[in-house]
Amino acid sequence: MLKSARKKEKDPEGRMPLAEHLRELRNRLAKALLAIVAVTIVAAFFYKDIIEFFTNPILTAVGCDSTFSELAQQSSGNCARIVLNGLLTPFTLALKVSLMAGVIFASPVWLYQLWGFVAPGLHKHERKYAYAFVGTGVPLFLGGAFFAYKTLPTMAKVLLEFSPADLDNQLPLDDLLDLIVRMVLVFGLSFELPLLLIMLNLTGALTGRRMMSWWRGMIMGITVFAAVATPSTDPLTMLALAGPIWILYFFATGFSLLNDRRRRRRAALGPADDEASELDLTPEAIGEVEAVAPGPGRALPEQATAERVNGYDDVT
């Protein structure tokens, strides 16, 4: 009975004192960190498999069909060899790979905790848009990461062709993994461009016609960005990044044009039955003031009444 009496009812609009906000933030951060640590510990037992998952396509593309363990036992070869420099590098690399896997695979947990902290302060329509953006943004990011994973072998093959003959290529594994992570992030974030444009259009900050007028500059800008973001010099890798972004940009433009047309049609129909119409608060000019003739029963004299304007007596 005491616990039920002390238990406070939650505010339906999610309002709470600052101390309770901080307490909830602490609890949700603790749950998110515990999930990341737990997944990191599990991933530490499979970090070699994770490394092979990223490196085997690159090794196969440059002519190395051996596995990572077999390649480490070879003294020489005609293909690139992945090496580790330093005594502590294997240990730090294992920590880095395990932590990266922990953050990625525990993302449903910490994203849920983040959403649980932010959602009570949002309105219903804002939650609907948030669900739509999260549900669309995650597949777009994963699509960009997939393109990066598929283009990395081609990129590695082109770059290693610049090596002089009869020389052994040695690729530091930590540098190679940093390059892979950077490419995945660049490809994934670049695929979020249409989502950003659609969000600006839904908020009314950008129109579809304005986006359509930018198409030449956007194609050139996306091409230059793809050329800079991809380390290789071959056009295939650049087009693998630029082509999908072009398609997504024109898709966002078409969606914005349709949304603008729907918005104009709704404005022409006027407000709905359950919506309040907009009030016109523009002040209007007052016409000439007419003199008020004295009537029976008035206490003011005729001269004072003639100087009375808008119901106010100007006689002092």
Residue 76: predicted pLDDT: 46
Q: What is the pLDDT of residues 99-118, one digit of tens each?
A: 888 888 887 888 778 777 77
Whether 41 shows a pLDDT value over 90: the answer reads: yes
Q: Which of 249, 250, 228, 227 is nearest to 239 (CA)?
A: 227
Question: Rounded distance, CA 185 to CA 229, Å?
Answer: 11
First to last CA, the chain: 73
Q: Is the pLDDT of residue 221 over 80?
A: yes
Render pLDDT for 115-142 as a digit per residue (tens, 0 to 9).
777 767 666 766 677 777 777 878 888 8
- The strand pairing partners of 172, in sequence order, are 83
For residues 219 and 173, the model is more confident at 219
More confident residue, 183 or 220: 220
Mean pLDDT of 296-306: 52
Structure tokens at 17: 């004192």
Between 196 and 270, the higher pLDDT residue: 196
Q: Say how far apart CA 202 and CA 126 lie, in whole Å.
A: 12
Q: Average pLDDT of the chain?
A: 75
Q: Quick: pLDDT tens for 43-88.
A: 999 988 888 888 878 777 766 655 545 544 554 444 667 778 878 8
**What residues form DSSP beta bridges with 316?**
none
**pLDDT of the residue at 207:** 86
Q: Mind spelling out the 3-state secondary structure of the chain?
A: CHHHHHCCCCCCCCCCCHHHHHHHHHHHHHHHHHHHHHHHHHHHCCHHHHHHHHHHHHHHHCCCCCCHHHHHHCCCCCCCEEECCCCCHHHHHHHHHHHHHHHHHCHHHHHHHHHHHHHHHCCHHHHHHHHHHHHHHHHHHHHHHHHHHHHHHHHHHHHHCCCCCCCCCEEEHHHHHHHHHHHHHHHHHHCCHHHHHHHHHHCCCCCHHHHHHCHHHHHHHHHHHHHHHCCCCCHHHHHHHHHHHHHHHHHHHHHHHHHHHHHHHHHHHCCCCCCCCCCCCCCCCCCCCCCCCCCCCCCCCHHHHHCEECCEECCC
